[in-house]
Amino acid sequence: MVLPTSPGAAAVGTAGAANQLITELMGSIAQLKNWYSGFLSNTMEPISCRQSVERDLGGTYESLWYPSLGIANVFVYFWAFQLLCLKEIQGLLNRFPERKHVVHDDAAYSPEALREECLELSTCIYKSMEYLLQEDFMLYGISSAGFPLSTACEALQADADGRAIMTTLDQSIITRARLRNL
């Protein structure tokens, strides 16, 4: 998969250039999803499972658990790269409001649908942090968590819907990541 080499949303000056970049970004997302489908179809064992984690003072939270650190990294970076593409598309749609939706491969995507996908991806990344922040992984887990976690938190904090989701997630994740110098 190759991300587009076009200028970023801030550098795009015309609706035509924005359309071109949106098309390229949607193509990148499609390539990521095709890779993901192939990866899942070629894997015989479960890739992840949901696990409840209890906190002493903070209740019980759902997290995603993986068979290995490598698999966890594959997923959180897969989601983070999709999230980057979607956030760039949202920025272009905000800058060019005459674009009411995005069309790719004969499917139309509203800004609301794109935002919903951002929230879903961000939640998956966030719920994977419990696994990545395990002490057993030492620096390998924490060093791979920074980029996806900051990307997910930024997306979740972008609007009221995301902030509402954030309140339902384990807030100790951010504290523990900061304590470990992430």
Say if CB 99 and CB 143 are below 8 A apart. Answer: no
Tokens representing 174 are 């951010």
In a domain, 8, yes or no: no
For residue 51, what pLDDT is reported?
62
Please state which of the ranges 6-10, 33-37, 62-66, 137-141 shows the lowest mean pLDDT: 6-10
Paired with 57 in beta bridges are none
Helix or strand run (H / E) with residue 49:
strand 49-55
In whole angstroms, how far apart are CA 153 and each of 132, 149, 156? 16, 6, 5
pTM comes to 0.81
- What sign results for the dihedral spanned by CA atoms 137, 39, 124, 148? positive
In a domain, 1, yes or no: no
In a domain, 146, yes or no: yes
Provide the domain limits for residue 75: 14-179
In a domain, 170, yes or no: yes
Convert the pLDDT of each residue in 29-82 to its tens digit.
989 999 988 888 887 766 666 666 665 556 667 888 888 888 899 899 999 999
**What domain count does the chain have?**
1
pLDDT at 156 exceeding the cut of 70: yes
Q: Which residue has the higher pLDDT, 143 or 147?
A: 147
In a domain, 3, yes or no: no
In a domain, 174, yes or no: yes
Residues in the chain: 182
